[in-house]
Amino acid sequence: MVAPGAHRKERSIAIITALACQGVADKRLHTHVRLGMRHGLDQDALTALAALLAGYIGYPRASITMETIKDECAHTERAAP
């Protein structure tokens, strides 16, 4: 259960972090990165999160997360009117 005081943005950070730690690279990570963007996380914040995680979870897993962030940000830019 999520802490009652956790806001959507913080929950998104927690879920993206958990998926990155597990090395998840499928549509679950894409979905939660997209949701994080809807909840107020921009590309700079997501990139900073991936960079921070690299020191704790290792570069390979952080790199997968970074690629997903770049893909989703590019997709969002292409879809914008």
pLDDT for 31-72, tens place per residue? 999 999 999 999 999 999 999 999 999 999 999 999 999 999
Reference 41, options 80, 11, 75; nearest CA is 11
Residue 78's pLDDT is 82
**C-alpha to C-alpha distances, 25 to 28, 29, 30, 81, nearest whole angstrom:** 7, 6, 8, 28
The pTM for the full model equals 0.87
Residues 6+ apart with CB under 8 A from 43: 69, 73
Average pLDDT, the chain: 91
Residue 80's pLDDT is 72
* Burial group, residue 45, by CB count within 10 angstroms (0-12, 13-18, 19+): middle
